[in-house]
Amino acid sequence: MAKENKSEKKNCGRNKGAMLAYGVVQLGTGFVSALSLAVIALGLFSANQGSKVFNQCVEEVRNSGKSISGAVSFCNGGN
């Protein structure tokens, strides 16, 4: 009986190490996912700001008398 208990404890210790490694990997992947989502959100915010500036540029140029296509061309760096 005593020998069976010792062998069960040894197997249990080995499983604890595997479960600990699994938990660490899960936490690591969760952290990487959260970081990636934050970077994507910042990129979308930057694109949103750029589109607002572009739309303001087009409206200002249109108010000066140019057509829509001329205003878009101008705001894209054309003459």
Q: Identify the residue with better confidence: 50 or 16.
A: 50
> Both tokens of residue 21?
């490694």
At 16 the pLDDT is: 82
pTM exceeding the 0.85 threshold for the entire prediction: no
Q: CA 47 to CA 9: how far, in whole Å?
A: 57
The model's confidence at residue 17, banded by pLDDT at 50, 70 and 90, is: confident
Q: What residue ranges do the domains of the chain occupy?
A: 2-75
Q: Is 74 exposed, middle or buried (0-12, 13-18, 19+ CB in 10 A)?
A: middle
Dihedral angle computed from the Cα positions of residues 58, 61, 67 and 68, in that order, rounded to the nearest 10 degrees? 0
Q: Answer whether 55's CB lies under 8 Å from 41's CB.
A: no
pLDDT in tens, 31-66: 999 999 999 999 998 888 999 999 999 999 999 999
Question: Which DSSP letter does residue 79 get?
Answer: -
